[in-house]
């Protein structure tokens, strides 16, 4: 059934390829410096590389916005986003796939009663504003520098043509890699929490974890979409906003690739944070918005007279409509699937103030006396529970998250079957020993298992200030949970 439900993610991947390939090779094809066939082939290959190698960073933030916990729900969310993208693609607009999947996830949050993580949503929405502006600034600066360099060096026309073609190909490859790295989470990130895949190894030297396997499948769908339906939007981006010279086309793609890279690179974020510098959030930004911002930036630095502002307004209107349409399609489709086709589109998550939950909340420095009347009551949605305790005590965002996480019920029992199936290379022998020692134990909350593992082995304990190690531990814990759920 997972393969059947994954088809909506593949449809979304196809739609993204049909639409967003224009963002990395559209200016090159629009200026006739690279043929559409050649652009589609290179785009498809390097989208796959980017997705598999570097796709994990942005997927995490998207998961925080809404962790869809039922496979039928993931199918509907991806389908709603795909329909939105496909509709606007047929109209020839470079639509934002990021906006479509975010809107569809919010539709699921509203339907299931799940709390919307406004912190994650704020980061993503800000990226919709920052990415085109940043791309426009980069493009204007690059265009000014490269134009002056060409005049200073006095490159012959034929040499300039050859260099520009090579540069467009290189920039397109970089853009395709960045597109795969940043946008693969839009395609199949929604399926990661419900994926039945486990880590696999080829001949002991090439390994793919569960998420990377999903990313590979989704990237292939993007590549197919690029080749079969990408030409129309490529021409809109390449020539519909303003007339582009070959050099301007090169600059636009470079700026687009750089912006996508900045918001997708885990290594860059780790480096900047490690040196006490501000870092870009790992969020799936819109490559459509970035490339349009690049093209407008070049048009403005050249005086702005050649920009077709009517087309810009139409594209902006399409962007504004995208998340709204996706929310509506997602919510209505979820209702139909749940009530007409009797598919479970979400698994209810309950909350209860157990003794353990109260103890954990007090350990975080939060008073539990005002919450005593909530003891032993079961709340069937996150929004219902938050509404009840918010009426009794005033908490800040961090404290609310502590209470929610402590009271969230996730009954789970560790079986020998799950322990014996652990084959993730990052899980050490001592960590696996700790898991085996807990076989037969049952827990009401996920954090109880995490604490029990940390007591059994120091290698399960978070390390203060070590983000990379703590991310690794959380990834391993997620893997253990997927194993347990796939067996029970």
- The CA-atom distances, in angstroms, between 414 and each of 76, 444, 452 are 31, 12, 12
| Contact indicator for 47, 17 with CB cutoff of 8 Å | yes
Q: What b-and-e string marks burial along 207-244, b requiring 16 or more CB atoms within 10 Å of the CB?
A: ebbbbbbbbbbbbbbbbbbbbebbbebbbbbbbbbbeb
- The CA-atom distances, in angstroms, between 386 and each of 62, 107, 356, 369, 377 are 22, 19, 18, 16, 13
Q: CB atoms < 10 A from the CB of 14, how many?
A: 25
At 456 the pLDDT is 95
Which stretches of 242-391 are DSSP H helices?
246-262, 266-274, 287-301, 309-339, 355-363, 382-390
pLDDT digits (tens, 9 = 90+) for 314-367: 888 888 899 999 999 999 999 999 999 989 998 888 999 999 999 999 999 999
Distance CA 8, CA 366 (A): 43
| Contact indicator for 284, 178 with CB cutoff of 8 Å | no
At 388 the pLDDT is 93
| Residue 239 pLDDT exceeds 70 | no
pTM for the full predicted model: 0.80
| Residue 488 pLDDT exceeds 60 | no
At 203 the pLDDT is 66
Token code pair at residue 486 = 């796939």
One DSSP character per residue, 391-445 reads: TT----HHHHHHHHHHHB---EE--HHHHHT---TTS-HHHHHHHHHTTT-EESS
Distance CA 93, CA 233 (A): 6
Distance CA 218, CA 13 (A): 6
At 359 the pLDDT is 93
At 16 the pLDDT is 83
At 125 the pLDDT is 87
Say if residue 407 is exposed, middle or buried (CB neighbours under 10 Å; 0-12, 13-18, 19+).
buried
* Best CA proximity match to 226, nearest among 98, 103, 480, 42: 42
**Helix, coil or strand: residue 91:** coil
| Residue 241 pLDDT exceeds 60 | no
| Residue 140 pLDDT exceeds 90 | yes
At 63 the pLDDT is 66
| Residue 206 pLDDT exceeds 80 | no
- The CA-atom distances, in angstroms, between 349 and each of 67, 408, 446 are 11, 7, 12
Task: Give the residue, 410 or 65, on which the prediction is more confident.
Answer: 410
Which stretches of 21-117 are DSSP H helices?
22-30, 36-54, 56-65, 71-90, 97-112
| Residue 406 pLDDT exceeds 90 | yes
Tell me the pLDDT band of 204, cut-offs 50, 70 and 90: low
Q: What is the mean pLDDT of the chain?
A: 85
| Residue 237 pLDDT exceeds 70 | no
β-strand partners of 413: 442
> How many helices, marked H, and strands, marked E, lie in the chain?
22, 6
Determine what percent of the chain is predicted with pLDDT higher than 70: 94
The average pLDDT across 426-439 equals 94
| Residue 487 pLDDT exceeds 70 | no
Rg (CA), the chain: 24
pLDDT digits (tens, 9 = 90+) for 153-201: 877 878 888 888 898 899 889 888 988 887 888 888 788 777 777 777 7
Q: How big is the CA angle at 77 (ends 63 and 401), to the nearest 5 degrees?
A: 35
| Residue 242 pLDDT exceeds 70 | no
pLDDT digits (tens, 9 = 90+) for 12-66: 899 888 877 767 787 778 778 888 889 889 999 999 999 988 776 656 666 667 7
């Amino acid at each position: 059934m997972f393969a059947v439900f994954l088809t909506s993610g593949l449809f979304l991947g196809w739609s993204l390829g049909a639409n967003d390939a224009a963002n990395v090779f559209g200016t090159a094809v629009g200026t006739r410096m690279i043929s559409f066939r050649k652009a589609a082939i290179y785009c498809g290959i390097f989208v796959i590389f980017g997705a598999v190698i570097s796709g994990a960073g942005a997927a995490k933030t998207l998961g925080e916005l809404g962790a869809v916990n039922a496979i039928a729900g993931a199918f509907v969310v991806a389908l709603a986003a795909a329909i939105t993208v496909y509709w606007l693609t047929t109209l020839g607009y470079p639509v934002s796939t990021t906006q479509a999947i975010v809107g569809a996830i919010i539709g699921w949050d509203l339907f299931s009663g799940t709390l919307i993580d406004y912190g994650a949503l704020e980061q993503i929405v800000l990226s919709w504003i920052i990415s085109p502006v940043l791309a426009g600034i980069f493009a204007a600066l690059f265009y000014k520098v490269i134009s002056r360099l060409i005049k200073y060096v006095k490159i012959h026309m034929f040499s300039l043509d050859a260099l520009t073609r090579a540069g467009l190909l290189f920039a397109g490859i970089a853009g395709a890699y960045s597109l795969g790295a940043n946008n693969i989470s839009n395609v199949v990130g929604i399926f990661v929490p419900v994926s039945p895949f486990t880590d696999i190894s080829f001949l002991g030297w090439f390994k793919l974890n569960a998420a990377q396997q999903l990313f590979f499948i989704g990237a292939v769908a993007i590549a197919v979409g690029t080749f079969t339906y990408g030409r129309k939007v490529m021409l809109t981006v390449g020539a519909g906003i303003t007339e582009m010279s070959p050099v301007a086309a090169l600059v636009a793609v470079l700026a687009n690739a750089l912006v996508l890279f900045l918001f997708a690179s885990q290594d860059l974020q780790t480096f900047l944070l490690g040196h006490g510098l501000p870092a870009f959030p790992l969020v799936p930004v819109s490559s459509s918005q970035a490339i349009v911002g690049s093209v407008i930036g070049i048009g403005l630095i050249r005086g702005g007279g050649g920009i077709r502002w009517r087309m810009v307004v139409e594209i902006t209107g399409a962007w504004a409509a995208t998340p709204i349409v996706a929310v509506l399609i997602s919510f209505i489709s979820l209702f139909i699937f749940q009530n007409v086709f009797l598919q479970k589109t979400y698994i209810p998550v309950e909350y209860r103030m157990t003794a353990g939950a109260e103890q954990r909340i007090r350990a975080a420095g939060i008073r539990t006396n005002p919450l005593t009347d909530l003891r032993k009551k079961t709340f069937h949605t996150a929004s219902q529970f938050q509404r009840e305790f918010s009426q009794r005590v005033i908490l800040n965002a961090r404290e609310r998250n502590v209470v929610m996480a402590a009271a969230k019920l996730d009954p789970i029992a560790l079986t020998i079957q799950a322990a014996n199936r652990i084959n993730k290379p990052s899980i050490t022998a001592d960590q696996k020993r700790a898991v085996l020692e807990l076989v037969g134990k049952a827990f009401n909350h996920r954090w109880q298992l995490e604490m029990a593992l940390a007591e059994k082995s120091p290698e399960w304990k978070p390390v203060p200030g070590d983000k990379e190690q703590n991310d690794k531990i959380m990834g391993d814990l997620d893997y253990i949970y997927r194993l347990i759920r796939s067996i029970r």
